[in-house]
Structure 1
Amino acid sequence: MAALAPWDLSPHQARALRVVCGRDGVRLSELAEALRIAPRSATEVADGLQERGLVERSPDPADRRAVVLTPTPAGRQVQQEVDAARGADAHELFARLSADDRAELARLLRLLTD
């Protein structure tokens, strides 16, 4: 959360912005699924991002009942800045480990994900 403070984003908003920026248009139902939250909650998160000018809503050309979220240029900029800040935080965190410890951690994480 500390990494998100400069942009006044909640963790849900940051995750939602990452999903929207990572795809070429996202329906609210897809956003809810990606975030593993209720559709109503996805609507609230999207409302907050739209109010801040980070995403836009537009009718889905394939289904006029659905809405598609797309990032604004400001939303893309914020996403890039958040990614850079998180990367710097991760670098600082892992820099506390020796090279051998980082290699061991990587080995253990590969075991868990394989």
Structure 2
Amino acid sequence: MSELEPLVSAYAELYLQLMRTMDRRMADQGASLARTKLLLCLQKRGPLRATDIADFFSQSPRTVTEAIDGLERDGLVERKPDPDDRRAKFINVTEKGLEAAAKTEPLRRQLIDQTFGTLDDDERATLLRLLNKASASLKSADAAD
């Protein structure tokens, strides 16, 4: 076992526990973590093609298309023609979609506060710095491939 494996395991366990808890709490309020993540992605990144969304979330295009279909049926996103490619559509979050994502904000904030609120300011700053450093290293290695 590598000396780094406990670190990776602890990070993965925290992430999975955070996602499971968030999904369960959102479901209790009639929301979905997967749908909320997609809406927030569109809110932050602007209109995207389904293929770009699939790449961003490392999901199959079919999975993303099914999710978009459901969001569109519920009026949370809309498809608009891509002016550069007649075959493609841009997915855009609607006002109703923005409102749905905003309703989950207090729940997301509460869980983040519960998770990281036990760390003092210096510990949070150190954790953030270290996570950013590890992320930059991985991005650099990925770009070199």
TM-score range, shorter chain: 0.7 to 0.9
- Matching of residue 113 in structure 1 with residue 135 in structure 2: no
**Cα distance in 2, alignment partners of residues 24 and 94 from structure 1:** 29
CA contact (8 A) 1:3 1:86 kept: no
Q: Which shows bigger deviation, 79-88 or 64-73?
A: 79-88
Could you tell me how far 1:66 is from its partner in structure 2? 0.2
CA contact (8 A) 1:20 1:26 kept: yes
Could you tell me how far 1:105 is from its partner in structure 2? 4.6
5 Å-filtered alignment, 1:67-86, equals 67-86=89-108
Percentage of matched positions with identical amino acids: 32
Could you tell me how far 1:24 is from its partner in structure 2? 2.6
- The residue aligned with 2:122 is 103
**Cα distance in 1, alignment partners of residues 104 and 119 from structure 2:** 26
Which one has the largest radius of gyration? 2
CA contact (8 A) 1:21 1:71 kept: yes
CA distances 1:19-64 after superposition (whole Å, capped 9, x unpaired): 1112331111111111111111110111111122110112212211
- Matching of residue 20 in structure 1 with residue 39 in structure 2: no
- The residue aligned with 1:2 is 24
Which structure 1 segments of 5+ residues have no match?
A: none
**Aligned-residue CA RMSD (Å):** 1.9
Q: Which has the higher helix share?
A: 2
Q: TM-score, normalised to structure 1's length?
A: 0.81
How many pairs are equivalent? 110
CA contact (8 A) 1:53 1:74 kept: yes
- The residue aligned with 1:57 is 79
Give secondary structure in 2 for the equivalent of 1:66.
strand
Q: TM-score, normalised to structure 2's length?
A: 0.66
CA contact (8 A) 1:21 1:79 kept: no
Q: Which shows bigger deviation, 39-48 or 14-23?
A: 14-23
Could you tell me how far 1:98 is from its partner in structure 2? 5.5
Flag the structure with more relative contact order, 1 or 2, with Cα contacts below 8 A and sequence separation at least 6. Answer: 1
- The residue aligned with 1:41 is 63
